[in-house]
């Protein structure tokens, strides 16, 4: 008996890990059957790949101007053409993917958790806590996202860091709303009641039961939101309040290309295509995630 006791905890942990891995494998195999989702994932993997290996993949220096070759058409030297300072657009798009990815990641690690926590607390406690939290959320939701971000950037000063901060401040309220709606359902579920009957505190219920159940909706929403975040970041860049020159931010690149759009269409179009592709990738992935994770869709199926 004593010998089995010393072995048991390890083996049970292994068994648990195996059970989890089996769950994960099932998820992966279901995901792989969704072709559009796989396409979206492929686009995003390409984005990450470009961001990491930008120096190796690039053909020029992203910042060094070469005025003699300004506005060169796409060709053997400049695959996607050159901009108004003679910089290679292909190289700048590669480096720009780093900025895009950074913005996306920062928003993910800030806005979604804030929204999740606010929403879960609000939905679980209800009453006055709920009222206060949700009215604050309403205030943020009442102002158009881009406008609010603009106001923040105007107050904080232009720059990529401030742009990210502004986007985060505008991005969390929808997550709070959604997490609250989920929490309202989950808090009355019998498995939560069972934990309550065992004497669990509200904090325990929120962390262990309610937040994990809101998580899948948050992930789906997050993936679908990423396209919007990228567009807002590009929008801020476009009007000169986001990333500042000479940073190769896609929105700012389109902005400078605007002047040449009729004669040198590639200057604005190439970063535009990059934005389009990445947004498409996030949307396709988001749709696939929703098909797999959304609890409401699941029940129907």
Partner 1 sequence: MIRVENLNVTFGAATVVRDVSFSVAAGESFGLVGESGSGKSTVLRTMMGLNRSWNGTIEIEGAPVKSTGRKDLARRAQMVFQDPYASLHPRFVIARTVAEPMRINGIDNSEQRARELLEMVGLPGAFGFRFPHELSGGQRQRVAIARALALSPKVLLLDEPTSALDVSIQAEVLNLLSRLRRDLGLTFVIVSHDLAVIAHMCDRLAVMRDARIVETLDRRQLQEGRLVEDYSRELLAASGDV
Partner 2 sequence: MSDKPLVDVENLHIAFPREDGGWHEAVRGVSFSLLAREKLGIVGESGSGKSLSSRALLGVLPEHARMSADRLRFDGIDLLQASPRERRKLRGGRMSMILQDPKFSLNPVLKVGRQIMEAFRIGYPALSGAETRRRAIDMLEAVHIRSPERVMDLYPHQISGGMGQRVMIAMMMAREPELLVADEPTSALDVTVRTQVLSIMDELVTRRGAGLILISHDLKLVSRFCNRVLVMYAGRIVESLRADEMHNARHPYTRGLLACLPSIQSTGDPLPVLQREAGWANPEGQP
Q: Is 125 in the site for partner 1 (CB under 8 A)?
A: no
Q: Which does 29 bind (CB under 5 to 8 A by kind): partner 2, partner 1, none?
A: partner 2
Across the chain, the runs of DSSP E, i.e. the strands, are none
CB of 37: closest distance to partner 2 in angstroms?
16
Question: C-beta of 79: minimal distance to partner 2 in Å?
Answer: 42
Rounded Cα gap, residues 212 and 205, in angstroms:
10
| Of 21 and 131, CB closest to partner 2 | 21
Instruction: Tell the residue number behind the tokens 């009641």, with chain if given.
Output: 193
Half-sphere CA count of 69, side-chain side, radius 13 A: 17
DSSP result, 39-53: HHHHHHHHHHHHHHT
Here's the x/- map for partner 1, 150-189, by CB under 8 A: it reads as ---------------------------------------x
Nearer to partner 1, 49 or 191 (CB): 191
Residue 6 engages partner 1 in binding (rule: CB under 8 A): no
Distance CA 124, CA 206 (A): 7
Cα separation values, 203 from 86, 117, 211, 271, Å: 58, 11, 11, 46
Binding residue (CB under 8 A) for partner 1 from 197, 262, 263, 300: 197
State in angstroms the smallest separation of the CB of 287 from partner 2: 19
List the structure tokens of 250: 């896609």
Q: Which residues of the shown chain bind partner 2 in the complex (CB under 8 A)?
A: 26, 29-30
> Smallest distance from the beta carbon of 289 to partner 2, in angstroms?
18
With b meaning 16 or more CB within 10 Å and e meaning fewer, what string describes 184-210?
bebbeeeebeebeeeeeeeeebbeebb
Residues ≥6 apart with Cβ < 8 Å to 164:
102, 103, 106, 107, 233
Cβ-contact 248, 62 below 8 angstroms: yes
**213 binds partner 1 per the rule CB under 8 A:** yes
Pattern of binders to partner 1 over 9-28, x per CB under 8 A?
A: x--x--xx-xx---x-----
At closest approach, how far in Å is the CB of 217 from partner 2?
23
The tokens for 77 are: 């030297």
Residue 58 exposed, middle or buried by CB count within 10 Å (0-12, 13-18, 19+): middle
| Residue 10 binds which of partner 2, partner 1, none (CB < 5-8 A, kind-dependent) | none
49 binds, among partner 1, partner 2, none (CB under 5 to 8 A by kind): none
The one among 38, 195, 219, 292 contacting partner 1 by CB under 8 A: 195
Structure tokens at 247: 């940073």
Report, in Å, the least distance between residue 182 CB and partner 1.
Answer: 13
Report what 30 binds from partner 1, partner 2, none; CB cut-off 5-8 Å by kind: partner 2
184 binds, among partner 1, partner 2, none (CB under 5 to 8 A by kind): none
Q: Could you say which of partner 1, partner 2, none residue 199 binds, taking C-beta under 5 to 8 angstroms by partner kind? A: partner 1
């Amino acid at each position: 008996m004593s010998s089995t006791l010393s072995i048991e905890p390890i083996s049970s942990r292994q068994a648990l890990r195996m059970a989890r891995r089996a769950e994960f494998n099932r998820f992966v195999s279901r995901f792989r059957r969704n072709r559009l989702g796989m396409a979206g994932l492929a686009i995003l993997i390409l984005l990450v790949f470009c961001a990491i290996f930008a120096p190796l993949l690039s053909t020029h220096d992203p910042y060094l101007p070469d005025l003699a070759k300004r506005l060169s058409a796409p060709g053997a030297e400049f695959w996607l053409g050159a901009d108004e300072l003679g910089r290679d657009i292909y190289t700048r798009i590669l480096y720009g993917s780093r900025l895009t990815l950074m913005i996306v990641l920062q928003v993910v690690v800030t806005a979604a958790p804030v929204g999740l926590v606010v929403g879960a607390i609000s939905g679980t406690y209800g009453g006055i806590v709920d009222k206060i939290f949700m009215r604050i959320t309403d205030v943020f939701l009442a102002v158009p996202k881009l406008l609010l971000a603009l106001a923040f950037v105007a107050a904080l000063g232009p720059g990529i860091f401030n742009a990210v901060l502004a986007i985060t401040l505008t991005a969390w309220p929808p997550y709070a709303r959604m997490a609250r709606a989920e929490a309202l359902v989950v808090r009355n579920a019998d498995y939560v009641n069972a934990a309550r009957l065992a004497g669990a505190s509200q904090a325990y219920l929120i962390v262990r039961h309610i937040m994990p159940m809101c998580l899948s909706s948050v992930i789906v929403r997050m993936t679908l939101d990423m396209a919007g975040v990228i567009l807002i970041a590009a929008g801020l860049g476009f009007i000169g309040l986001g990333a500042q020159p000479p940073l190769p931010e896609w929105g700012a690149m389109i902005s400078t290309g605007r002047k040449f759009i009729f004669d040198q269409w590639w200057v604005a179009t190439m970063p535009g295509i990059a934005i389009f592709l990445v947004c498409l990738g996030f949307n396709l992935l988001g749709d696939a995630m929703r098909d797999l994770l959304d609890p409401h869709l699941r029940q129907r199926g």
